[in-house]
Chains A and B, each alone.
Chain A
Amino acid sequence: MSFSPASERGTSSAPVSGARGHGAAVEFRHVTKRYGAGADAVAVVDNLSLVVGAGELCVLVGPSGCGKTTTLRMVNRLVEPTEGQVLIDGRDVATEDATALRRRIGYVIQQTGLFPHQTVAQNVATVPRLLGWPAARITERVDELLALVGLDPGRVRQRYPAELSGGERQRVGVARAMAAEPVVLLMDEPFGAVDPIVRERLQDELQRLHRTLGTTIIFVTHDVDEAIKLGDRVAVFQVGGRLAQYAPPAELLARPASKFVARFVGSDRALKLLTLLTVADAPLRDASTVPGDTPDAPLVALDRTTTLNDALSAILGSAVGAAVVVDEAGRQQGILTLDAIGTALRAATGDSHAAPVGAVCEPLSEAGGRLPRDAPGDAPNPASPTVGSKP
């Protein structure tokens, strides 16, 4: 089971390059979806324009009813837009036969949608079978895929979905979606129904898969932590199907474009941003300027790939208020202090005119009461109140 610390991605939004390039770019061009007719028509997605780069993992996140699932389903034409176009590698999906289109797009849903009457192997073989692959190639591909998603082919191949755990079923769902090497993978709250521990492991494995295969992934969730962890870029939707912000996770946390986004990512967004930064992002002090190791107050040792969130936790828990950073051989690289973490955080927010990332509290008038409804005209909020900001 591979584990990938967030630091491997760091704050960079650029997909890792390499022997990949299998993914396709997806573009939404002024897409609107209305249900109902005439004056009663309700827009579920409202004039959405968004580009997902080839090989990117784009997360659509927002409260329920914000149109993120509808947006996803317009890519494989399970929903047809009322206005506008969805393009895959520049080609309008409406011009393609819906069935053929869907066979080259992977589709994973929360309830898995596995066929209960088919074995795991038959389930995974679904799209290759529809595409008419020769039997030998299908068999080979099925085993390859099961191994890819961390299942033992020999053990699960002939099982029925009902005989698997929730996490295993979700893995089979992912294997099935990847079977015919789709150019785009659509995932609709795929990990929403599994317990938190399994969810975290599935997220780690999805990141690994994404890095290995380079498939473009559009991932819907209502969980902002999941969005921040997984997304190369995150599209925050608000009710009415409007795009509130589309940015890499670090930027979303550092510079939320509106009060709505700021509230949605959470008042602890500074702490969340720390999960995207690593010790390597912070300035280290010379080891000689800080009280050294003593048997009474040992310094906690960290390495440069530790997230600043974990580092903060370690420092707060130590008696010294600092931690020592060591390299792989255990040699001291320097000392990490609380101030250095603050400096790294401010550097990550970049623009000094933007809302200080220390402004973790809502204005007093709002913080005390219930969260107000999201005003439709929730304007960008460069002059965010600074209650509670650090000196």
Chain B
Amino acid sequence: MTPGEPLISWDWIFSHLGDIGQRVGEHLVLTGLAVAIGLLLSVGPAIWIARHPRYYGPVLGFAGVLYTIPSLALFAVLVPITGLSLLTAVIGLVSYTLLFLIRNIVEGLTGVPADVRDAALGMGYTSRQLLWQVELPLALPAIVAGLRIATVSTIGLTTVTALIGQGGLGYFILDGLQRFFSTPLIVGAVLSVALAVVADGALVLVQRWAMPWARGSA
């Protein structure tokens, strides 16, 4: 950055609006894909663990190990196998969502009050009806809480995927760093933070809308 140059060049921003929009879109798609796939992968194991609590430790331990692998190291391992592809990015991002999602779904399911389960069975719910009509709806607050953590952390991590050519707002940050040009760096950073805040807020709204019964207590 040359001395005297303004921190933010508005000219650059206005001339790159289309570009910025595209990167925001990529960022959202990557995040959405990762969280959606993470959720799909988590539900089965979580339901199973809720029924067989002795597997809680091992499965959560595995998800925890995945979470602790540094993202750069994970991409370094994956790139030789899956290339500089969207698949590589998504595999990495999904693996970071599993810990939160599995943990929260299990928590939600095991938190269903025993009397509610007892009454449901006593009135003739099958175990499938119990799961879909009672247990999962009651676990929703915990599940959405997990989704919020997973989404926010994935939005942060997605900036790293620019390193393997999978765009998102991380592209501007890399670009800024490489050219000693502060404007794209700031745009990338500010927008990814803004995305995280907005996504979190949107999920809170979804939660309120879907769970009128929990209003005020959640």
B85 at interface by CB-CB < 8 Å: no
Whether A107 contacts B123 in the complex (CB less than 8 A), given A78-B118, A113-B116, comes out as: yes
Residue A16 interfacial (CB < 8 Å): no
A127 engages B124 (CB within 8 Å): yes
> B112-136 toward A: CB 8 Å interface, digit per residue (1/0)?
0101101111111110010000100
**What is the chain A residue whose CB lies nearest that of B212?**
A160
B137 contacts A by Cβ under 8 Å: yes
Q: How many contacts between A and B, using CB within 8 angstroms? A: 68
B206 interface hit (Cβ, 8 Å): no
Residue contact A102 to B124, C-beta cutoff 8 Å: yes
Kindly identify which residue among A101, A102, A112, A162 contacts B115, using a CB–CB cutoff of 8 Å.
A112
Check A115 against B134 for contact (C-beta < 8 Å). Answer: yes
Is A118 a contact partner of B213 (Cβ separation < 8 A)? yes
- Are B124's CB and A109's CB within 8 A? no
A76–B137 contact, CB under 8 A? Answer: no
Judge if B217 is at the interface, Cβ distance under 8 Å: yes
Q: How many whole Å from A93's CB to the nearest CB in chain B? A: 13
* CB neighbours of B123 from chain A (8 A): 102-103, 107, 126-127, 130, 176-177
Task: Decide: A162 and B217 in contact? CB cutoff 8 A.
Answer: yes
- Contact: A130 with B217, CB < 8 Å? no
Q: Are B124 and A103 in contact, CB atoms less than 8 angstroms apart?
A: yes
**Shortest Cβ distance from residue B194 to the other chain A in the assembled complex, whole angstroms:** 33
List A contacts of B102 (CB < 8 A): none
Which B residues from 181 to 218 make CB contacts under 8 A with A?
211-214, 217
Given contacts A111-B113, A116-B213, contact A76 B122 (CB under 8 A): yes
Known: A117-B137, A162-B213. A112 touches B125 (CB 8 A): no
Specify which chain A residues have a CB less than 8 angstroms from the CB of B120 in the assembled complex. 113, 115
How distant is A248 from chain B, measured CB to nearest CB, in Å?
28
Contact check, B116 vs A115: say whether CB atoms are below 8 A apart. Answer: yes
Asked whether B138 is an interface residue with its Cβ less than 8 Å from the other chain, the reply is yes
Q: Which residue of B lies closest to A176 (CB)?
A: B123
1/0 contact string of A95-113 vs chain B (CB within 8 Å)? 0000111110001011111
The residues of A that contact B115 with a CB separation of less than 8 Å are 109-113
- Is A114 interfacial (CB-CB < 8 Å)? yes
A117 near B211 (CB under 8 angstroms)? yes
Alpha-carbon separation in the docked complex, A110 to B116 (Å): 11
CA distance in complex: A317, B82 (Å): 94
Q: Given contacts A117-B137, A160-B213, are A102 and B116 in contact (CB under 8 A)?
A: no
A286 to B212, CA, bound (A): 68
Question: Which residues of B sit under 8 angstroms from A78, Cβ to Cβ?
Answer: 118, 121-122
Give every chain A residue within 8 A of B125 (Cβ-Cβ).
99, 130
User: A155: shortest Cβ distance to chain B, in Å?
Assistant: 17
The count of residues in chain B whose C-beta lies closer than 8 Å to any C-beta of chain A is: 22
Q: Whole-angstrom distance between the alpha carbons of A111 and B214 in the complex? A: 19
Cα separation A162 to B126 with both chains bound (whole Å): 25
B124 touching A130, Cβ below 8 Å: yes
User: Taking the nearest CB of chain A, how far is it from the CB of B108, in angstroms?
Assistant: 12
Q: How far is the CA of A99 from the CA of B130 in the complex (A)?
A: 12
* Complex CA–CA separation, A176 to B119 (angstroms): 10
| Residue among B119, B121, B124, B126 with most chain A CB within 10 A | B124
Return chain A residues, CB-CB under 8 Å to B211. Answer: 117
CB distance from A159 to the nearest CB of B (A): 10
CB distance from A14 to the nearest CB of B (A): 30
CA gap between A100 and B125 in the complex, in Å: 9
Residues of B with C-beta under 8 A to A160: 212-213
CA distance A126 to B134 in the complex (A): 11
Whose C-beta in chain A lies nearest to the C-beta of B127? A99
Q: Whose C-beta in chain A lies nearest to the C-beta of B121?
A: A78
Q: In the complex, how many angstroms separate the beta carbon of B77 from the nearest chain A beta carbon? A: 43
**Which residue of the partner chain B has the closest CB to A131?**
B124
Is A107 a contact of B138 with CB atoms below 8 Å?
no
CB nearest neighbor in A for B125 = A130
What CA separation (Å) do A162 and B214 show in the bound complex? 9
Contact indicator A116/B118 (Cβ below 8 Å): no
What residue of chain B has the Cβ atom nearest to residue A163's Cβ? B213
Inter-chain contact A102/B121, CB cutoff 8 Å: yes
Task: Check if A114 sits within 8 Å of B217, measured CB to CB.
Answer: no
Q: Would you list which residues of chain A between 134 and 151 have a CB under 8 Å from chain B?
A: none
Contact A117 B213 (CB under 8 A): yes
Expressed in whole angstroms, the minimum distance between the Cβ of B120 and any Cβ of chain A is: 7
Closest CB in chain B relative to A260 CB, distance in Å? 30
Q: Which residues of B contact A127 (CB under 8 A)?
A: 123-124
- Give CA–CA (A385, B125) in the complex, Å: 53
Q: Are A99 and B122 in contact (CB under 8 A)?
A: no
Given A103-B124, A162-B217, A109:B137 Cβ within 8 A: no
Closest to A100 in B: B124
New A-B pairs, 16, CB < 8 Å, besides A78-B118, A99-B126, A177-B123: A78-B122, A99-B125, A100-B124, A107-B123, A109-B115, A109-B119, A114-B116, A115-B120, A115-B138, A116-B138, A116-B214, A117-B138, A117-B213, A127-B123, A162-B217, A176-B123
Give the 7 A-B CB pairs with smallest separation, nearest first.
A113-B119, A103-B124, A111-B115, A102-B124, A107-B122, A113-B115, A160-B213
Q: What residues of chain A have their CB less than 8 Å away from a CB belonging to chain B?
A: 76, 78, 99-103, 107, 109-118, 126-127, 130, 160, 162, 173, 176-177, 186
Q: 25 A-B residue contacts at CB 8 Å?
A: A76-B122, A78-B118, A78-B122, A100-B124, A103-B123, A107-B122, A109-B122, A110-B115, A112-B115, A112-B119, A113-B113, A113-B118, A113-B120, A114-B116, A115-B134, A115-B138, A116-B138, A117-B138, A117-B213, A117-B214, A118-B213, A126-B123, A160-B212, A162-B217, A176-B123
